[in-house]
């Protein structure tokens, strides 16, 4: 009978260790899920901040280009859409289109269309700006 008791104790100890190991794995899995959702939120927010900064840079570049063309009276660029090369800005998946218009009796205006993307997010902007001379 003593051999049977010893065998039973040994089996119970192994079973308890197995239950503890499975419980520990479940707790670790839950922690990983909680931490990864926080990391995904931070990644989304950093991508959004990058896109906002890129959009501001593209708009500023478009306005500078429009002001230079207006000051130099380059009328061949007026009243038509010009897609500017933004490769040197190192903003992937972006575009910048500028249309300069000169309404009679008003300050010149620039229609600036911007689009930039990162991962699954895309920001677009279609705004008119008055160019002050």
* pLDDT single digits (tens) 66-98: 999 888 887 777 888 999 998 888 888 899 999
User: What is the model's pLDDT at position 65?
Assistant: 93
Predicted pLDDT at 11: 60
The pLDDT assigned to 77 comes to 75
Cβ atoms of residues 128 and 110 within 8 Å: yes
Q: In this predicted structure, what is the pLDDT of residue 64?
A: 93
Q: For residue 6, what pLDDT is reported?
A: 52
Domain coverage including residue 93: 2-130
Domain total in the chain:
1
Residue-level pLDDT at 5: 54
In the prediction, which pLDDT does 74 show? 75
- Give this prediction's pTM: 0.72
Helix (H) or strand (E) holding 49: helix 2-71
Show the low-confidence residues of the chain (pLDDT under 70). 1-13
Contact 103, 89 (CB under 8 A): no
Residue 39 gets which letter from DSSP? H
Measured CA to CA, the distance from residue 65 to residue 11 in angstroms comes to 80
Q: How does DSSP classify residue 106?
A: S
Closest CA to 121 of 29, 74, 52: 52
């Amino acid at each position: 009978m003593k051999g049977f008791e010893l065998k039973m104790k040994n089996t119970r100890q192994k079973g308890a260790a197995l239950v503890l190991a499975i419980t520990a794995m479940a707790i670790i899995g839950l922690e990983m899920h909680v931490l990864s959702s926080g990391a995904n939120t931070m990644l989304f927010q950093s991508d959004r901040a990058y896109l906002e900064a890129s959009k501001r840079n593209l708009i500023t570049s478009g306005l500078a280009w429009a002001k230079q063309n207006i000051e130099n009276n380059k009328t061949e660029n007026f009243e038509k859409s010009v897609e500017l090369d933004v490769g040197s800005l190192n903003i992937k998946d972006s575009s910048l289109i500028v249309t300069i218009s000169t309404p009679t009796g008003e300050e010149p205006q620039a229609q600036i269309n911007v689009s930039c993307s990162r991962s699954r997010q895309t920001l677009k902007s279609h705004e008119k700006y008055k160019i002050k001379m």
